Amino acid sequence: MVVNKKIISRFSQYRKALIRFQELGMVKVFSDTLAEAVGVTSAQVRKDFSLYGISGNKRGGYQINGLLDELQAILGKDKIQKVIVSGCGNIGRALIRYTGFEPERIQIVAGFDDDPSKQGRIDALPILPLDAMKDFVSRNRIQIGIIAVPDSAAQPVCDTMVAAGIRGILNFAPIRLKAPDEVVINNVYLQMELENVIYFVNALTKKPRR
Amino acid sequence: MVVNKKIISRFSQYRKALIRFQELGMVKVFSDTLAEAVGVTSAQVRKDFSLYGISGNKRGGYQINGLLDELQAILGKDKIQKVIVSGCGNIGRALIRYTGFEPERIQIVAGFDDDPSKQGRIDALPILPLDAMKDFVSRNRIQIGIIAVPDSAAQPVCDTMVAAGIRGILNFAPIRLKAPDEVVINNVYLQMELENVIYFVNALTKKPRR
DNA sequence: TAGATTGTTAATCGATTAACAATC
DNA sequence: TAGATTGTTAATCGATTAACAATC
């Protein structure tokens, strides 16, 4: 992968901050202001932008409107992104019902689960057996999938997704998935994130200063 | 913060891999083998261990048992970690019901939500109003909290947690929380993780090679 | 002993930041 | 014009890796 994951995360955060600024009626912004809002240095902001050929005005900062357009395009916000979810247990169902995606133009269009008791519909969203994935994905030209199944099912589900034509996966199973290089995989390891917090809390309480 | 977040994440992963190895009946392991399982270099593994004073045998690798004990201690697995969840909507409820925490000795002991329709119990777990947090936290000596409330409520809930004595927070709200330096905050920005996948999928499909 | 693996040092790599010339 | 901010280069910082002496 050529570009860094972190710069894209920052773009997401810049975007969020800019939307807030815009709502406050602001029209332009300095690298300094944006940096502060996101918690990075102003050099970082300017570097990031220049790396993507985004330029401002030498003394007037950046036009929020134009800047947002550029970021939207980079992040693929210019069109609605359709996503499927595999595994409709606790996490899967929460994601399906999660209201934070819609305003970001991310739309979950179907769930998949082989447990018949979960098939049918969740809030108007069809929940289908895994068998139906390939057909559904190609028919609707889906590129992105979320894996929210238990450990043991994660790799086979991943294989099914890849075979169905999915190009990018957000994985919640605490497993390192094997997939061809051209498939993008991003892992969200919940226990690990929590363990991280626990470690640092323990570390700080043990040696109070240092 | 003195130590790096990434090394702790790797410790979590080493630990998981070692448990798998142990289940396979393995007794000792080489840095090479462990590295492969986690997807890092063997130098990384040895460096990480030596940084924490963990040593192996010059020709016999590492004893899995002893290694696990050390990692458990570092990660705070030597005792059960009690955690509270604030916000019992989609995400909060999913975390409460999530079965992946228990085997990791992470125990969610209460939920908090000011919506009376959510108060009561979820699967035997008490769901209380935020008012009750301070008392509950100090009585049960809780140090860790999860924030799974909508944007606008996140900062006040964070303040409540800090006031109640919480030392570490795992935050799911797409917001940068403000808290005193000694409070550890780890953010899980779900939209951002998905946006990352979307970006790289788009980037790869646009310029197929490079 | 010969061979293999650790532990650590030094080299490399990449990302962040400081600094400043260009310029509006 | 004087002042302020961008865009970029060079310096710094930190993390990863290569390499190898120590040693079991």
pLDDT at B1: 39
Over the stretch A165-192, which tens digit does the pLDDT of each residue have?
999 999 999 999 999 999 999 999 999 9
Average pLDDT over residues A54-69: 95
Judge if the beta carbon of A58 is closer than 7 A to nucleic acid strand D: yes
Exposure on the CB side of residue B197, measured as CA atoms within 13 A = 26
Task: Give every CB contact of residue B77 below 8 A, 6+ residues apart in sequence.
Answer: B15, B71, B104, B105
Q: Which of residues 38-67 of B touch A (CB under 8 A)?
A: 38-39
Total-model pTM:
0.95
Residue with token string 């970001």: A104
Q: Dump pLDDT digits (tens) for B137-173.
A: 999 999 999 999 999 999 999 999 999 999 999 999 9
Q: What separation, in Å, do the N-terminal and C-terminal C-alpha atoms of chain A show?
A: 38
Is A30 in contact with A66 (CB distance < 8 Å)? no
Taking only the tens place, the pLDDT of each residue in A101-160 is 999 999 999 999 999 999 999 999 999 999 999 999 999 999 999 999 999 999 999 999
Distance between CA atoms of A120 and A77, rounded to whole angstroms? 30
Note the maximum CA span of chain B.
Answer: 62
Looking up tokens 């063997």, which residue turns up? B42
Residue A165, CB, strand D, below 7 Å: no
Instruction: Quote the CA–CA distance of A7 and A182 in Å, as a whole number.
Output: 20
Residue for token digits 């595994």?
A87
Domains contained in chain A, CATH given: 5-74 (1.10.10.10), 81-193 (3.40.50.720)
B57: CB within 7 A of chain D nucleic strand: yes
**Mean pLDDT for the stretch of residues B78-105:** 96
Residue of B nearest to A3 (CA): B200
Q: Which one of B142, B172, B202 makes the best mutation probe of the A interface by having the most chain A beta carbons within 10 Å?
A: B202
Distance from C-alpha of B195 to C-alpha of A184, rounded to nearest angstrom:
12
Chain A contact for B90, CB < 8 A?
yes
Residue of A nearest to B36 (CA): A176
